[in-house]
Structure 1
């Protein structure tokens, strides 16, 4: 199986979860969570709450399965603000034991480039926990532990500040840590040539050179 993640750019977690479930089954997803963060620490402010409220309609329309967790976070921030707290710690669901992934493809090749960021990196965190997975192409992008920002226009109107409003806690992948490929392939031509060689090596009888 080949998963081409080049140009992904991130987004929501739900599409990646659907891919993993299609490969190994829903029951295997909890077993892939070993690298994920255990909690996120949020800065409590009007701007952070307004930012999340603005996003809620889009999330409800496109990723309704993520709405319960989103609403829990929003309610927690609002409660923390009423209590005068500066920070709110959102505990993420603890990883369950799950069923170790099995009976999927014998070999899974993930093709990456520097555009694999945000949710694409989260997907790689989980994919690489599965059996038979290898990464080729170019290194992924990297992110810090501050994964959500708030836009604050300056009074002059000449610039906008991007202020961190969330920090992950307990994530195995460190800040600015990319995933490096086992085989470095610089462009599409190199990727296609490598894939043809790999397919030919599997298809030809033993001892026959491709």
Structure 2
């Protein structure tokens, strides 16, 4: 039931790092990189479904190629950065948001910038979003090229290499702010001269890279990305639109989601008639990076009724292949022990855990590489074991007024599952394109031998899921303004609902 993105993006690591925190103690960085790279390789080989997935023939070849490259780089590793960045590039090469890598302490924070930073403007352009007063590149300038590479090619060679999945608009939106915040890795290019469109003129400007204090990074990112903290909440707009904000589907019993969502879902169930009489309902998923898919199932039952999904036209059979390994079995068993009996832990989730533990246990004992689990619902655990049929219930009256699902570039994993589920029932996606995931899901975390970094490794692969690998969900109605501007969004959504009447 874990569907979160594995390692936190650098944006969040930097924003939360303590500037005065000490870097890791010096050690034999060559040995540390070689040892951790080998451990990463071996964990993927032993526990990732891609290693035994006949439909992903390039997985093992890439795993071997990246290990060879990391071991070669280990020969000259002399610093924490020399250790850290080869491992990040190793993981990013798989272009999989669920295969994660991150520091357990500080990242290598030797940051530099040329006095300005950029962002993607939502229309495919890279523009200067903030600039020092003395910088020759003003705010609003459009980046055209750097060192003979087009702006898009330079971004791909730098951020695409470091973070992967650069074909996704959501990834560009989230990470574009780092194009000119250099981490001082010697594995990617650092521009010497860039050309900009400034006041209708093309100007080539040499770049002078200067140290950037860590305590400045958080405010810079907030201004460039429009990042704002988001809270769970329910409110009614003037005119009657009901707005439910759900910035996370975290399944951890101690999380804010686990504290807020049970009450929100219960109120949606008890107040269903009044909610469906509203001009529209907005399910606000901005900032939601995933968690447990069962939250979206429970809300679907509250709004559409217990039998609503059963009444949908039958789609393709969706199944799941789990990598049958002792480590994956232990992960699921530990997760069940931690969550069982907590608030919001539904009977279908309990059944799902028991079904997976039993099936994986048999497969591990038989030394099978994969265990096939018929997953009646691609967006979450089935309501019955793979040996039975899902119980049905009469559907309630369907909503006749729009239910909008508001998304941004953060939406991934269980957030995408929610979107799949709710739009199948008739909800309308609005806002910005989502992030995307591969068919590999359900992560297990592991600390690498150095104890400086950790990885997140998927344990299962979907078969027959309608949404393809790394395929984002595109809004029916796109909002090209500042997606963090709730007041502007409320006005926009009100106009959308009015246009439908």
TM-score scaled to structure 1, two decimals? 0.82
**Cα distance in 1, alignment partners of residues 401 and 359 from structure 2:** 43
3-state SS of 1:147 partner: strand
* Deviation for aligned residue 1:149: 2.6
Is residue 2:371 matched to residue 1:76?
no
Is residue 2:346 matched to residue 1:64?
yes
Corresponding residue to 2:421 among 119, 126, 133: 126
* Deviation for aligned residue 1:71: 0.8
Regions of 4+ moved over 4 Å: 32-37, 94-102, 199-203
Kept in 2: contact 1:37–1:172 (CA 8 A): no
* Deviation for aligned residue 1:163: 3.0
**Cα distance in 2, alignment partners of residues 172 and 197 from structure 1:** 32
Corresponding residue to 1:55 among 335, 339, 345: 335
**Cα distance in 1, alignment partners of residues 293 and 440 from structure 2:** 17
Is residue 2:400 matched to residue 1:109?
no
Q: Structure 1 stretch 158-167 or stretch 77-86: which is displaced more? A: 158-167
**Which digits, 9 at most, give the CA deviation of each residue in 1:79-127, with x for residues without a partner?**
1111121211112237789777753132121111122222221111111
**Cα distance in 2, alignment partners of residues 143 and 37 from structure 1:** 20
Give ranges in structure 1 of 5+ residues lacking alignment: 204-210
Q: How does 1:48-197 map to 2 (within 5 A)?
A: 48-60=328-340, 61-62=342-343, 63-65=345-347, 66-93=349-376, 102-131=397-426, 133-185=427-479, 186-187=482-483, 188=485, 189-197=487-495
Kept in 1: contact 2:291–2:414 (CA 8 A): yes
**Cα distance in 1, alignment partners of residues 390 and 351 from structure 2:** 17
Q: Structure 1 stretch 174-183 or stretch 98-107: which is displaced more? A: 98-107
Query: How many pairs are equivalent?
Result: 202
3-state SS of 2:475 partner: coil
**Cα distance in 2, alignment partners of residues 168 and 4 from structure 1:** 27
**Cα distance in 1, alignment partners of residues 464 and 499 from structure 2:** 41
**Cα distance in 2, alignment partners of residues 67 and 121 from structure 1:** 22
3-state SS of 1:172 partner: coil
Kept in 2: contact 1:109–1:134 (CA 8 A): yes
**CA separation of 1:157 and 1:199: change in aligned 2, threshold 3 A:** closer
**Cα distance in 1, alignment partners of residues 408 and 315 from structure 2:** 21
Give ranges in structure 2 of 5+ residues lacking alignment: 1-280, 377-388
- Give the structure, 1 or 2, with the largest relative contact order (CA under 8 Å, sep 6 or more): 1
Select the structure of larger CA radius of gyration: 2
User: What's the counterpart of residue 320 of structure 2?
Assistant: 40
**CA separation of 1:173 and 1:64: change in aligned 2, threshold 3 A:** same
* Deviation for aligned residue 1:58: 3.3
**Cα distance in 2, alignment partners of residues 197 and 135 from structure 1:** 15
* Deviation for aligned residue 1:201: 5.1
**CA separation of 1:84 and 1:127: change in aligned 2, threshold 3 A:** same
User: What's the counterpart of residue 206 of structure 1?
Assistant: none
User: What's the counterpart of residue 208 of structure 1?
Assistant: none
**Cα distance in 1, alignment partners of residues 290 and 490 from structure 2:** 24
3-state SS of 1:26 partner: coil
**Cα distance in 2, alignment partners of residues 163 and 71 from structure 1:** 21
Corresponding residue to 2:292 among 8, 12, 21: 12
**Cα distance in 2, alignment partners of residues 197 and 12 from structure 1:** 32
